[in-house]
Amino acid sequence: MKTNCFFYRKKKYSINPNGVVTSKSHSNIALIKYWGKHNNKTQIPLNSSISYSLGEVYTVTRLIYQKKKERNLPIKVFFSGKEKTSFLPKILEFFHRISSYCSYLQDFNFIIETYNTFPHSSGIASSASSMSSLALCIMEIEKKLVSSSKEDFFLKKSSFLARLGSGSACRSIYPGLVVWGCHKSIKGSNNLYAIPYPYEVHSIFTKIEDTILIIDDEPKKILSSKGHQLMNDHPFARERFKCATQNMSRLISILKIGDFQEFGELIEHEALTLHAMIMTSRPYFLCMKPNTLNVIYTVWDFRKQNKKNIYFTLDAGANVHLLYPIQEKTFILKWIYSDLFVYSKKIIESFCL
């Protein structure tokens, strides 16, 4: 069943006393990118996407809930130990969007304590891991209130709620390859929540390294919400959505066969297409920095000379994710530190979960 009403939770519970729940959620990197959604607040994507969840880059959230006393502020947010009122509008909007699915929320005040293992708003999907860890916390509360929740429902609804916070966050609920958005060749895929990739995957794709080069650790110049919105009257949008759907079909067979070169070329094409959309929207933006291009050219040269399996992908920011099989890690990582460190502010050694 894939309708919103599946997730409604009416107010039939006895309110528990105060409590604390904690969760951890990993960031993810999309291989086929989600860029463009229906023009309303329901976070329905205009094409399907697939990502790897990432080790080492995650958000930990502690949610303290207290039975509401009148005139209390409903939510306080602390990020790395400091109160962050600037995070409140997004979180309040999130609570508002999920309120009809989690009616118990209105009975509590909340204190959210959260930290990331990576810089927020820097092109590493911090909203994905933060919104998904918050959604998981909320579902932990729901589990305490409504003890009948099954694990499968718990994860589906966590993904469903996370989506309403930030689209790509719905993919962070699961490890491994995760699909979000309806695609005719992927059984169970749908627009409301993400699912673990359901088909055979060649062993080469089960142990992939992702070394992230932080080129720019300043907050992003273009918020993804704005970028998605600009796809609504983008002159190339229709072709882009078609292309993403075709790329997904190609990826299904690549993942089965284990062709790393095809895989790499496809993810680089996706990354550059995302940036092409960003560069040609109105108003237009440029998220890459000179060092993003320096890294890309250096990777292409290295690949040509050494016949190694290393390919890049990008989020809507300047940072570069370098994907390669674990079998080639020793040689490639040494080269990254010797030849690419010069272009980076920081290197994060992550891997695909």
Contact characters 166-195, ligand PMV, x per CB under 6 A: xxx---------------------------
Phi, psi of 344 (to 5 degrees): -115, 150
Residue 125 binds to ligand PMV (criterion: CB under 6 A): yes
Options 7, 25, 27, 33; binder of ligand PMV; rule CB under 6 A = 33
Residue 224 binds to ligand PMV (criterion: CB under 6 A): yes
Q: Quick one: 282 exposed, middle or buried, by C-beta within 10 A (0-12, 13-18, 19+)?
A: exposed
Residue 165 binds to ligand PMV (criterion: CB under 6 A): no
- Taking the least distance from each CB to ligand PMV, the nearer of 18 and 232 is 232
Residue 126 binds to ligand PMV (criterion: CB under 6 A): no
Min. distance of Cβ 50 from ligand PMV in angstroms? 9
| Largest CA-CA distance found in the chain, in angstroms, rounded | 68
From the list 27-35, 52-60, 68-76, 114-122, the region that binds ligand PMV by CB under 6 A is 27-35
Phi, psi of 348 (to 5 degrees): -110, 120
Residue 123 binds to ligand PMV (criterion: CB under 6 A): no
* SS3 category, 125: coil
Q: DSSP assignment, residue 290?
A: H
Min. distance of Cβ 26 from ligand PMV in angstroms? 13
Q: Which residues contact 253 (CB under 8 A, 6 or more apart)?
A: none
* SS3 category, 124: coil
Residue 273 binds to ligand PMV (criterion: CB under 6 A): no
To 5 degrees, how large is the angle CA 179–CA 185–CA 187? 60
Residue 118 binds to ligand PMV (criterion: CB under 6 A): no
From the list 3-11, 71-79, 160-168, 324-332, the region that binds ligand PMV by CB under 6 A is 160-168
Residue 316 binds to ligand PMV (criterion: CB under 6 A): yes
Concatenate the DSSP letters of all residues of 62-113 into one string.
EEEEEE--TT--SEEEEETTEE-GGGHHHHHHHHHHHTTT-GGGGGEEEEEE
Options 23, 25, 59, 127; binder of ligand PMV; rule CB under 6 A = 127
Q: Which residues contact 315 (CB under 8 A, 6 or more apart)?
A: 29, 30, 123, 124, 125, 321
Residue 35 binds to ligand PMV (criterion: CB under 6 A): yes
| Residues of this chain that bind ligand PMV (CB under 6 A) | 30, 33-35, 49, 125, 127-128, 166-168, 224, 228, 274, 315-316
